[in-house]
A and B are shown apart, each in its own frame.
Chain A
Amino acid sequence: MNRHIKLGFFIFFVPVILWLFLLIVLPQIDLLLMSLKFENDAGKMVWSFANYSSFFTQKVYWLTFARTAIYAIIVTFLTFVVTFPMAFYITKVVNPKYKGFLTILILMPFWVSELVRVYGWMILLRESGVINYFLLKLGITHQPIEMLYNDASMIMGLVYTSMLFMLVPILSSLDGMDDSYIEAAHDLGASKFIIFMKIVIPYAAPGIVSGSIVVFMLTLGDYLTPNLMGGKNSLWFTEQIYNQFIESFNWNQGAAFGFLLLLISSLIIWIGLKISKQNLAKALS
């Protein structure tokens, strides 16, 4: 009996541990070492925190980071605002017969890659795009409007890209909620608004938290959507990392930025959890 468990343990966990170690831990250690090396004036590589300190001393770096983080928070919040009513509608309002169908309908766009989806938006929004075509045809405008390459279109694209990752955890937490909680609250004198704020949202909190963490992290680390929909002036922090690696060939600086992104975003999530009085283990269970 005991031996079986041990054997099973090895069969299942050795690949997992190898995978974790070879593909994640090892490269990370390498990057970490790289980020702590700096080419001094004599052209020699020395151990130093200079790559990290340059993030704080050069305004453009941390301003870009702050902008990225704030936008990621806004995107996370907007994604929640957009998906929560959908999740509520699918799980609680609509006839259970159509639940599966509606869920699939919403998930369908996510079967194609992010790149294709973003190009889809671009075809709609660009100057010679579908929307402008109709606006001109209907005589609403006389000149095509540039709807791409601004912050609003970038945020919209990011929200769209993230919806799935917010919707699924909220769906599953609302699905487990018995309708009688809503009725009981109504019976005890609560209005619809209070029921929403005091019963539905707290009940779905674990789903909201895990969805928010995933969306926040993905948005922060997204490269494609900010670049394609926000254009040259999107000023997304991942672009800075890309620039260091690819354009400046400064891998040491790039690695340091990568770690800063990881550390600061973890810090933001930690603060977020503290403020909302949630805990990570519960959200992910």
Chain B
Amino acid sequence: MNNVLEIKNLKKAFGDFKAVDGVSFNVEDGKFFSILGPSGCGKTTLLRMIAGFLKPTSGNLLINGKDMLGVSPNERPVNLVFQNLALFPMMDVGENVAFGLKRKNIPKNEIKERVSSMLQRVQLSGYERKKISQLSGGQKQRVAIARSLVLEPAILLLDEPLGALDLKLREQMKIELKKLQNEIGTTFIYITHDQSEALVMSDRVAVMNAGQFEQIDTPVNLYANPKTSFVAGFVGETNKFEAKKEDNTSVSTKDNISFKSIFIDKDITDNCHLFVRPEAIALMPKDDIEGMNYFNLKVKTILFDGSNTKILATINDGSREISVSLPQNREFAHIKEGEIVKAAVHKNDCKCYKIQL
């Protein structure tokens, strides 16, 4: 597979503030690539440099092998779906989708055909004459995507396009977007602060923090093997402990509970962060399994949420509350608040990272 986008050590500073601070990555043709990070970490800035609205302070940016520095947005083979969609309110749906095609001097009847087949793609066939104000949130979304995709860009850039939708619709659009990308095969670069969007849709995800990439990986790897403390804390739900190194195989938490664990960062000497995922903690485990940390959980609260039900509990008599997933079979449905339950976690699921500023 060839790289449709190559970025080398890209930087963007606003005055003294480094919004994007030396980012390098490649995106393979036809992939769904996400950039995931908290709000304000520089995602939009990075995307706007790719689209051509911002001039990088330094670094290289190649699309299909061609240097893009100095090429204006209307001449780049990429299109951007804006965070607020930016559908033109004075035009109807058809005119919005046709806008880019008209700029290319394509014959009228061909424009009409391409617009209607594009609208069909996004399940809006026959919506040409509708006004933008008549559309629902999800429909506007699809028009915005259609308006860009109809130009057959090498890369489609999407800036948190689902942010404004309500939860139900967002879940549905996630799946639709993924399907659409699969069907048409255009490279998508999708930015979001919502880890579930990134994990569900992407082939690869870059986790961004404070202007830098922490890790670029497949969603599965990102979840299973986070490389840094930030990734471990940001991707997926987890319990984070302040801990101290005891020896090469264990740490102790502030509540003085000792965990056999593994050290992801090898250069930890003293203080570190310990991460344990809620689903890694087993309730009422078998005794004497090699490598297990055994402890008692004092149940404080049960957070019922269907298949995603959790309990909040303290370890032994500690003060730190942790969250533990409740398996879906009704095996543990009898657990009540205030009860004490035996639990265990394997040392490989106790990961220690050095403290990140």
Contacts and interface: CB of A to CB of B under 8 A. Distances in A.
Contacts of B79: 187-188
Q: Which of A180, A184, A190 has the most CB of B within 10 A?
A: A184
B317 to A, nearest CB: 55
B324 interface: no
Interface in A175-203: 178, 180-181, 183-191, 194, 198-199, 202-203
B103 interface: yes
B100 interface: yes
Given A188-B79, A188-B100, A188-B148, A183 B90 contact: no
Interface of A is mostly: helix
A181 B86 contact: yes
A26 B96 CA distance: 50
A82 B7 CA distance: 45
A188 B84 contact: no
B82 A180 contact: yes
B90 A189 contact: no
B157 to A, nearest CB: 9
Interface of B is mostly: loop
B82 A183 contact: yes
B86 A190 contact: no
Contacts of A203: 89-90
A205 interface: yes
Contacts of B86: 178, 180-181, 183-184
Interface string B131-153: 00000000000000001100100
Contacts of A188: 74, 79, 99-100, 103, 147-148, 151
Q: Which of B73, B79, B148, B151 has the most CB of A within 10 A?
A: B73
B80 interface: yes
Contacts of B75: 189
B74 A190 contact: yes
B52 to A, nearest CB: 8
Nearest to A204: B90
A205 B88 CA distance: 14
A6 B100 CA distance: 53
Interface in B7-24: none
B51 interface: yes
A92 B102 CA distance: 25
Given A180-B82, A180-B84, A187 B90 contact: no
Given A194-B103, A202-B90, A203-B90, A187 B74 contact: yes
A184 B148 CA distance: 10
Contacts of B151: 188-189
A261 B140 CA distance: 47
Given A178-B84, A180-B84, A184-B86, A190 B99 contact: yes
A105 to B, nearest CB: 28
B53 interface: yes
A62 B234 CA distance: 78
A205 B91 CA distance: 13
Nearest to B90: A202
A-B pairs, top 7 by smallest CB distance, nearest first, are: A188-B100, A184-B86, A180-B86, A189-B103, A202-B90, A189-B74, A186-B73
16 contacts: A181-B86, A184-B80, A184-B88, A186-B72, A186-B73, A187-B52, A187-B53, A187-B74, A187-B80, A188-B100, A188-B148, A189-B74, A189-B104, A190-B74, A202-B90, A205-B90
